[in-house]
Amino acid sequence: MASGWFYLSCLLLGSLGSMCILFTIYWMQYWRGGFAWNGSIYMFNWHPVLMVAGMVVFYGGASLVYRLPQSWVGPKLPWKLLHAALHLMAFILTVVGLVAVFTFHNHGKIANLYSLHSWLGITAVFLFACQWCLGFAVFLLPWASMWLRSLLKPIHVFFGAAILSLSIASVISGINEKLFFSLKNTTRPYNSLPSEAVFANSTGMLVVAFGLLVLYILLASSWKRPAPGILTDRQPLLHDGE
């Protein structure tokens, strides 16, 4: 039964993650004029798409690699590599998203890093970079002792969840900031809830739902990797000779 709920949650998570990315793309394409890479406002439109994809969806999915029952048996190295590779992909998307917004700001002579949204975002990215480098050095490379890994693992897990939470807060504040800037001089301002505002707010709610589900799966004790020698109803059984 626990196994069924886990895979159902993963299916829901995949659906929510896909919707988060697709809704953000549609918002930027339909209401904000589409995409370009030329320093214009259309270059900025890559920023929300890539940050949602990288810092929320790919990051959240990468965080759950060790919740898969298949990772509980056999060598751990392939799962470590998958965990690191997915996070690296998330980080690359994030860096490209930052290049898009900084290039747009510099081209239009707009100040950088002045809003709470930008402070939350850059803090999340900085912690993400530190987290990935520490994880690579301590948990992937063979030099670290088991004592050091045991000491740092709770810190690694805590900051993993903290970075995701910061990312969600940054995305939500970014959606709100974009709507305030884009709708302040229109015939239907933000406070009249035009269709763009309803759609963007709904996108934000999808991001929140995705993040909460990731955190629930991470924190649910019955879905964590069992201690050595303990078998659960979610762990694949190995037959004699396998």
| Highest mean pLDDT: which range of 70-79, 137-146, 204-213, 218-227 | 204-213
Q: What is the residue type of 54? A: G
Q: What is the mean pLDDT of residues 38-48?
A: 97
Query: pLDDT confidence of 242, banded at 50, 70, 90?
Result: very low
Mean pLDDT of the chain: 91
CA atoms within 13 A of residue 88's CA, in its CB half-sphere? 10
Identify the CA nearest to 17 among candidates 201, 212, 198: 212
Tens digits of residue pLDDT in 219-239? 876 777 776 655 555 555 444
Q: Is the CB of residue 234 less than 8 Å from the CB of residue 223?
A: yes
Instruction: Report the pLDDT value the prediction gives residue 232, as an integer from 0 to 100.
Output: 54
**Residue 51 domain-assigned (yes or no):** yes
- In this prediction, residue 237 carries a pLDDT of 43
22 within a domain of the structure (yes/no): yes
In a domain, 50, yes or no: yes
| Number of domains forming the structure of the chain | 1
Distance CA 58, CA 13 (A): 11
- Higher pLDDT pick, 220 / 195: 195
pLDDT for the residue numbered 238: 40
The Cα 38–Cα 232 span in angstroms is 54
pLDDT for 54: 98
**Domain membership flag for residue 25:** yes
* pLDDT value at 60 more than 60: yes
Mean pLDDT, range 162-182, rounded to an integer: 97
- Structural domain includes residue 3: no
Q: What is the residue range of 50's domain?
A: 16-36+43-59
Is there a domain that residue 217 lies in?
no
Identify whether the C-beta of residue 52 lies closer than 8 Å to the C-beta of residue 21.
Answer: yes
